[in-house]
Structure 1
Amino acid sequence: MNDITPPGFDALFRHNEDPWGFRTRWYEARKRAMTLACLPQARYASGFEPGCANGELTAQLAGRCERLLASDVSPRAVELARTRLAALPHVEVVQALLPDQWPRGRFDLVVISELGYFVDGPALDAMAAHTLACLLPAATVVACHWRRPIQGCAMDGDAVHARLAQGLQLPQLCEVREADFVLNVWSSDPQSVAQREGFAW
């Protein structure tokens, strides 16, 4: 993974439709389940998943969103995700180079998974700023990243999350930190799930 430019990503997906084993590894299936379990709301009106790859997490998020937009820089990944999600008319997959081509619209869920270390620091800061600007009231922002070193990337997951937290400046609802990955959930609504349901004060 030395080449993390858009052509490099496209070559990855043209050589292998599932280059990171999203479909086959228990690690990936478990991480998706934990990501979904950490969402504080049962349903979201409008979600956005940048860096959707071949759409495996997107397919899971689709069950929690009335409308879901996903994007990837690789045209081949977008093609694979569209095929994966073809039966879900409320899901749209677009090709976009972020942060410059950040979508218009407002979202109450933004999921940034395994993406932040593939951009430099200023671009990650811009992504955080775009995320903050597009949020609906009481929205949820989720980030999940690999913690171990990645060849060709200056930041690991911990550095990505520290920079996102600094840029978002939102209350943190949840953190899961394992040897392999870190998962954070932020929201402008600091209430816990029990508080949101009215039985904890």
Structure 2
Amino acid sequence: MSRRIDLAGFDARFAADRDPWGTFVHRDEGVKRHAIVRALGPGPYARLLELGCGNGSNSIALAGHALRLDACDGTPSAARLTGRALADKPRAQAHRCVLPGRFPRPRYEAVVIAELLYYLPPVAMQHLARDVARALAPGGCLVLAHHHIDFHDTAQRSHAIHRRFLAATGRSWHPGRRRRNQRWTVESGRLGE
């Protein structure tokens, strides 16, 4: 792997192009978004946390499955784009949250993390895993969605990223829905009591 992208790199991408990876327009991104929403199962959830919201392409769909959505990203440009995308969703809000770090609320019934984990160095991912496990209510739903491809700018390999994250939480998980294709995997689990 070459040099990993940092928050400044992501911020520059979103400042230059509101959809740098085509998440609003590429068909496969729509299929993945549908898989993420389906993995959540029946809702709505009282409080849903989305980490790594990017430009808000998933946030719009997630807002309909929560009484309160907190969509978070570490870059100012992405948080602004998501805020605009959610402008007509009064129960959804975009936040700038550098991870690992403090979430907008102490407790959530569901957490969605898409296209984020392999951009974090292993120690940062371990901290985030423990933070998510603390914030998620017992029996709460966690949805993870990541590519299988090892991109040139990530901090760690994509292989088994979900398994490594779940192990780092130090908690037990009950497997839920799983959808996989040649490019990505979306899977959910419920936090053990």
TM-score (norm 1): 0.88
Is the Cα contact below 8 Å between 2:136 and 2:191 reproduced in 1? no
Question: Which residue of structure 1 aligns with residue 142 of structure 2?
Answer: 141
More relative contact order in 1 or in 2 (CA 8 Å, sep 6+)?
Answer: 2
Matched, 1:68 2:69: yes
Aligned to 1:128: 129
Provide the secondary structure at the position in 1 that maps to 2:173. Answer: coil
Q: d(CA) in 1 for partners of 2:12 and 2:181? A: 31
Cα separation, partners in 2 of 1:152 and 1:27, compared to 1, 3 Å: same
C-alpha distance in 2 between matches for 1:149 and 1:177: 16
Question: Per-residue deviation at 1:188?
Answer: 2.6
Name the counterpart of 1:97.
98
What's 1:110 paired with? 111
* Counterpart for residue 80 of structure 1: 81
1:18: which partner in 2? Answer: 19
Instruction: Using the aligned pairs only, state the percent identity.
Output: 29
Instruction: Give the letter for the 2:96 counterpart.
Output: Q
The CA RMSD over aligned residues, in Å, is: 1.7
Q: Which runs of 5+ in 1 are unaligned?
A: 191-201
Name 2:180's counterpart in structure 1: 177
| Structure 2 unaligned blocks of 5 or more | none
Q: Is the 8 A contact 2:44 2:65 kept in 1?
A: yes
Instruction: Return the alpha-carbon distance in structure 1 between the equivalents of residues 163 and 29 of structure 2.
Output: 23
1:174 Cα deviation from its structure 2 partner: 2.4
Equivalent residues, number? 190
Contact (CA 8 Å) 1:117, 1:156: kept in 2 or not?
yes
Where 1:171 maps in the other structure, the secondary structure is strand
Q: State the 1:89 CA deviation.
A: 1.1
CA distance in 2: counterparts of 1:90 and 1:82, whole angstroms: 12
